[in-house]
Amino acid sequence: MNRRGFAAGTLIVLALLVGCGNYEPPPVPGTDSTSFGPPLPPDATAIPAGVPTTDAAGPNCDDPTASLRPVPNPEDRVGPTIDAIRARGRLLVGLDTGSNLFSFRDPQTGTIQGFDVDIAREIARDLLGDPNLIEFRMLGSAEREKALQDNTVDIVAKTMTITCARRQKIDFSSVYFEASQRILALDDSGIAGIADLAGRRVCVVNGTTSMQHIQQIQPAADLLTVTNWADCLLALQQGQVDAISTDDSILAGLAVQDPYTRVVGDPISAEPYGIGIAQNKTDLVRSVNATLDRIRADGTWISLYDRWLTVLGPSPGPPAPTYQD
């Protein structure tokens, strides 16, 4: 470039810089500096401290995790429920897509993945000969029992705790995972356990054991209830709550999504997960239990744990089943 060209170029750059100095960004549509922060999800409900609750455990029953003994052989997988599923050619599985690690939509592939999804795939493999013959139905935590009672799904595979109260409405497989309820808080929150939640705002999902336990164990907490655990993470990030409390397995998935959060405190309850099945479908319960027995014995359970859940620590091994018959 000659000297005159260089000078002209410098002038243009100077003119642009002066222009930039005067530049005012246009207002961002839809924002209002006088508002007090982002809105809550439309279905969020505030439950102030001290509002009485129902009994989390519900009526007492001997051992809610005792299920029906599995069918001994693959050819014994017969019965009206199984025949109907085979005639349809697909297993209808209720779950949600917002539970990182257990059932979530992989943003890269658009497919639904996770530990619960893979357990459902093993059930489909044994029933239909193909782990892909599944149709997913999205369910919020509070919709799980009703979806089974209404027969809109064959099974629920959604971090579902087996309780006496739920056993009055639905049946369960044997236990396939053991979680325990803890707390997720921001690193610098000063929250280290359940005692620190007195007078604080805690997010829980409606219709869960997590909500009932917090109301019973820490009645001095103000609750915000929402529809799924991803909404709780957003509320925590936006400063609308101080903590989230649910199963450590679900909290670990949220913590992976936000490095400024931490799972804290001692376990406050045992949360044995079972596959939910409508009542009077004993053929399906026994078949699902046979699948769970198979994956406990053939190494599949451990490989699924290693695929999804090592953030919880090394594999504890599959939980041992108990049976009532």
Which residues are near ligand GLU by CB under 6 A? 141, 158-161, 205, 208-210, 246-247, 271
Q: Which residue, chain included where needed, has tokens 């401290």?
A: 49
- The residue among 159 and 218 lying less far from ligand GLU, judged by its C-beta, is 159
Instruction: Provide, rounded to whole angstroms, the least separation between the CB of residue 181 and ligand GLU.
Output: 8
Least Å distance, CB 250 to ligand GLU, is 6
State which residue, 208 or 225, has the beta carbon closest to ligand GLU: 208
Q: Please report how close the Cβ of residue 245 comes to ligand GLU at its closest, in angstroms.
A: 10
Tell the residue number behind the tokens 């917002």, with chain if given: 98
Distance CA 289, CA 68 (A): 8
Strands 201-205, 243-247: pairing is parallel
Quote the DSSP letter at residue 46. Answer: E
Smallest distance, ligand GLU to C-beta of residue 113, A:
16
What tokens does 34 get? 């006088």
Looking at the Cβ atoms of 81 and 246, the one nearer to ligand GLU is 246
* CA torsion through residues 156, 312, 246, 43, sign: negative
CB of 318 to ligand GLU, least distance (A): 18
280: left (phi over 0), alpha (psi -120 to 50) or beta: left
Rounded to whole angstroms, the Cα distance separating 238 from 207 reads 23
Place of tokens 């799904």: 153
Burial class of residue 293 (count of CB atoms within 10 Å of its CB; 0-12, 13-18, 19+) = middle
Q: How far is the CB of 239 from ligand GLU (least distance, A)?
A: 23
